[in-house]
Amino acid sequence: MVQIINKVTLLHRSKIDIIANILQAANEEGGAKKTHIMYKCNLSFKQLHAYLEFLVEIGLLKLNSLRKEANEKSFLFETTKKGRAFIKAYDNLRVLLVTNRYESQK
């Protein structure tokens, strides 16, 4: 039953679900590269760019510069304290919604 629910939720994700996925992907120590987040969240480059810009603007993500070589820079996105609070609230809300959904079916 859980496996079916996970497949259905991937097909119909809300913007809040996508935001939570991005924040969770970037919540690794040191952050995550744009391509890592893109693949982990199953988003196109265009979609990801819009979300990342929005999340940095509102302070849920921060952008860290990482020097590779003299001419090249690589950027890592890292979930902020505010972003981690969002993830926690999102997880709590999902638990409430899923619990209520199954209790009402009994």
Model pLDDT, residue 29: 85
Per-residue pLDDT at 11: 62
Q: Fill in the DSSP letter of residue 77.
A: E
**Whole-prediction pTM value?**
0.79
Strand partners of residue 37 = none
pLDDT tens over the chain, length 106 residues: 444 455 455 567 899 999 999 999 999 888 999 999 999 999 999 999 999 999 999 999 999 887 666 566 788 999 999 999 999 999 999 888 876 555 555 5
Q: Which of 87, 70, 73 is nearest to 18 (CA)?
A: 87
If residue 38 lies in a helix (H) or strand (E), which one and from where to where?
Answer: helix 34-41
Q: Which pLDDT value is given to residue 53?
A: 97
- Can you name the CATH fold of 14-105? Arc Repressor Mutant, subunit A (1.10.10)
Q: What is the pLDDT of residue 67?
A: 65
Domain-by-domain residue ranges, the chain?
A: 14-105
Residue 60 CB coordination number (10 Å): 22
User: What was the pLDDT predicted at 1?
Assistant: 43
